[in-house]
Amino acid sequence: MSITYLKRGKPDVERAEDDAKTRQIVETTLADVAANGDAAVRALSEKFDGYSPTTFRLTKADIADLIAQLTPRELADIKFAQEQVRNFARAQRGSMLDIEVETLPGVILGHKNIPVQSVGCYVPGGKFPMVASAHMSVATASVAGVPRIIASTPPFQGKPNPGVIAAMHFGGAHEIYVLGGIQGVAAMALGTETIEPVHMLVGPGNAYVAEAKRQLYGRVGIDLFAGPTETMIIADETVDAELCATDLLGQAEHGYNSPAVLLTNSTKLAQETLAEIDRILDILPTAETARASWRDYGEVIVCDSYDEMLAVADDIASEHVQVMTDRDDWFLEHMTCYGALFLGARTNVANGDKVIGTNHTLPTKKAGRYTGGLWVGKFLKTHSYQKITTDEAAASIGAYGSRLCVLEGFVGHAEQCNVRVRRYGGQNIPYGAAAPHLDDIAEG
Q: Which residue numbers are catalytic?
A: 319-320
CA distance 108 to 388: 6
CA distance 78 to 135: 9
> DSSP assignment, residue 56?
S
CA distance 191 to 205: 20
- Look at strands 231-235 and 320-324 and give their pairing: parallel
> Coil, strand or helix: which one is 109?
strand
CA distance 305 to 42: 55
> DSSP assignment, residue 369?
G
- CB of 374 within 8 A of CB of 140? yes
> DSSP assignment, residue 287?
H
DSSP 288-345: HHHHHHHHHHEEEEEESSHHHHHHHHHHH--SEEEEESS-HHHHHHH--S-SEEEEST
53 prior amide bond cis, ω within 30: no
CA distance 203 to 73: 26
- CB of 98 within 8 A of CB of 110? yes
**What is the amino acid identity at position 437?**
H
**Residue of 246, 243, 241 whose CA lies nearest to 273:** 241
- Look at strands 107-115 and 380-388 and give their pairing: antiparallel
Q: How far does the chain reach from its first CA to its final CA, in angstroms?
A: 68
**Residue of 201, 160, 161 whose CA lies nearest to 30:** 201
